[in-house]
Amino acid sequence: MGILGPVDFRNADLLLADARALLSEHASVRAQAQHALDALRRDVARAGLEAVPVSRLKDVTDGRLRVGTLEKAGFATVRQVLEATPYELQLLPGIGARTAGQIHAAARQIEQAAAEAASLRLDVDRPDHHTTELVVALHRLVGAGPDLPRALDAAGDLAGRLAPLLAQARPARSRLRMMFTLPARRRRAREAVEAVEGLLAGAAATRLLLAQVTTDLLRPPARDFEAWADFESRSPEYFALLAELAGEPLGTGQGMLPDDLAAKVAAQPLDDSHRRVSLRGYQAFGARFALVQERVIIGDEMGLGKSIEAVAALAHLRAAGDTHFLVVCPASVLINWVREIGSRSTLRAYPLHGPDRLAAQREWLRQGGVAVATLDGLHRLEGTEAPLGMLVVDEAHYVKNPETKRSRAVAAWCGRARRVLFLTGTPMENRVEEFRTLISYLRPDLAAGLRSSDVVAGAQAFRKAVAPVYLRRNQQDVLAELPERVEADEWVEFSGADFEAYREAVAAGNFMAMRRAAYAEPATSAKLKRLLELVGDAEANGLKVVVFSYFRSVLATVEAALDGRAHGPLSGDVTAERRQRMVDEFSAAAGHAVLLSQVQAGGVGLNLQAASVVILCEPQVKPSMEAQAAGRAHRMGQVRRVQVHRLLTVDSVDQRMLDILRRKSALFDAYARRSDLAESTADAVDVSEQSLARQVVEEEQRRLLPG
């Protein structure tokens, strides 16, 4: 009859037992995490109910409950009602057992609604019992590693298929039963035998995967401080699991997309067989948007994980059969992209940069995978005979000028690829026309159809016109757990020596010297003194600090004042590899540390969430440059409140620049950032560095050099 022998049945039974063991253990650990989450939610909800008046109980029961007796007895809030038992309420005059039960049920209903809507923040500096219990439970799931989803899928598939197959394939237990077994039954048994043999033939790797992941789940819970330390080092993975447990809806973060397009995006499948990272709901939505619309800009605010969304889209396309992909980015973040692709997916990344560029390019063309090229080196890259599955352009605002060599190279590659994904947190820095240029690379028809009237009609009309190609989400929309960002303008006055240097710079019409003048005399510099005070406060609290300046000379002054206690500086002439090593060393340092960086070098692409204090030595010409710099620290993965300090000198170039630059920030907010503005003027005047410098110099010369 060709039935399985006893050894085969034993192996099949063991494989099924392994699959069921993993599913059972995962369910147990997940239930512990869910229990801790529910307890934390109730805790947060009850704290919020201190502000909910007891009169709201009437709303829950459509006015049927009379709460006057409760108010007379001193019950002012819903929380106070919850903290009393129904029996205690029953003791109040005029409240019977039934009414007491109704009051308590109404209070619990409000508590449940508040718990479901609660925004959870896990404060690493102020852990309590409930947050610690949750972090410890999540640690077991995170510790199971990126293979957990794949192992669960395999276990679920085996448990669903193998058990019924074994029931059919097992031999009859008696000769009499075998004699009367129907031919159809024997045929089904043979088919089941063949199916089981097929499953066992490729089961060695699966059994190893199941055993490893189950072993990881079975490890004893970590000690509290170990779990918190792990949470601090890789909090995005914890929050991704937390969002999944909390039931974060799939469509979270659809930006300004119309409902019909959002529904189409939500229905797009997303294959995770080549992905090694769990996605937040808004990240999965972003990847789906790129797949559905094919040629798009994701303009998410800094720190939301745009690169993860891109990797998820690439992994899906690889599962669908595409083999060759290309990522183009600034040289400063090339190494970071190679790391992201390797750690977040099974795809092979080939850095097309440096002395091994040509060898890596040949290997990519031959083997497939993801080539990672620089914006300035893209023009040297040869095309591949295989279709390009997707072109990803990071920091795409660098190609807003269509006349540059890098822009022409990107435009040419956009013409070769069916799918193109632009990533940028600042799609428009100076003029709406820059936004239109980016769209023209992707959808020339849409760019041509953006009439001037769309712009003149205001921000709402413009965003509606670009919705098919543009998706943007802001931190406050999708990262409820992100700690707050506190910004402070630190105003100081010139010292005597610095003011003299400033007057000389104004007289010479030297804009850059005017911006540096506050640090001309380190011994008496008020800005430098305030910077050292801020660093001292951070040191006392064990916090890491990033100091940004446009000028190397200013960073050199700060470095000397810190007496060699700083990492860096990161600057334009530091290689991408060395830059990443500096960031890694800074992040790995125990406790307080300081990293110095030129804002152009460290404000783009690098992840600096180990820092929670950001100091800007002077205002920048582009508001987006400051936003990017602060966004390096205030991003997904940050677990502490971020303090952003901008050092400013009164009655100086700093004050003049701020007045002018506020108009540029307002323009970006209106047209490219999601907001509630229904209408805005199209004051899209380009404020170039040259025109800004000329305006500031002229104003300061009139003020300080009369006549």
Contact between 242 and 120 (Cβ < 8 Å)? yes
| The pLDDT of residue 679 | 25
Contact between 398 and 378 (Cβ < 8 Å)? no
Q: How many CA within 13 A on the CB side of residue 147?
A: 17
The residue-averaged pLDDT of 297-311 equals 84
pLDDT band at residue 170, thresholds of 50, 70 and 90?
low
**Of the candidates 600, 645, 598, 621, which has an alpha carbon nearest to the alpha carbon of residue 696?**
621
Question: pLDDT at residue 223 above 80?
Answer: yes
The residue-averaged pLDDT of 378-400 equals 88
CATH 3.40.50.10810 in the chain is located at 248-477
The residue-averaged pLDDT of 622-648 equals 77
- CATH pick for 483-704 out of 3.30.1130.10, 3.40.50.300, 3.40.50.10190, 3.30.70.2190: 3.40.50.300
Residue 185 amino acid letter = R
Model pTM? Answer: 0.59
| The pLDDT of residue 355 | 86
CA-based end-to-end distance of the chain: 111
What sign has the CA pseudo-torsion 396, 398, 401, 405? negative
Question: pLDDT at residue 35 above 80?
Answer: yes
| Average predicted confidence (pLDDT) for the chain | 79
| The pLDDT of residue 707 | 60
pLDDT tens, residue by residue, 2-23: 445 544 677 777 777 888 888 8
Contact between 237 and 138 (Cβ < 8 Å)? no
Between 637 and 309, where is the model more confident?
Answer: 309
Q: In whole angstroms, give the CA distance from residue 256 to residue 468.
A: 10
| The pLDDT of residue 317 | 96
Q: For a pLDDT cut of 70, what percent of the chain falls above it?
A: 80
Question: pLDDT at residue 589 above 50?
Answer: yes
**Of the candidates 292, 295, 283, which has an alpha carbon nearest to the alpha carbon of residue 255?**
283
Measured from the Cβ of residue 314, the count of other Cβ atoms closer than 10 Å reads 29
| The pLDDT of residue 453 | 46
Q: In whole angstroms, give the CA distance from residue 606 to residue 333.
A: 7
Cα 89-92-95 angle, rounded to 5 deg: 75
DSSP label at 277? S
Sort 211 into a burial class: Cβ within 10 Å, 0-12 / 13-18 / 19+.
Answer: middle
Contact between 534 and 593 (Cβ < 8 Å)? no
| The pLDDT of residue 320 | 94
Question: pLDDT at residue 681 above 60?
Answer: no
Question: pLDDT at residue 62 above 80?
Answer: no
pLDDT tens, residue by residue, 265-275: 888 999 988 98
The domain defined by 248-477 folds into Rossmann fold (3.40.50)
Q: In whole angstroms, give the CA distance from residue 483 to residue 123.
A: 8
CATH 3.40.50.300 in the chain is located at 483-704
DSSP label at 50? G
| The pLDDT of residue 421 | 96
Q: In whole angstroms, give the CA distance from residue 565 to residue 259.
A: 53
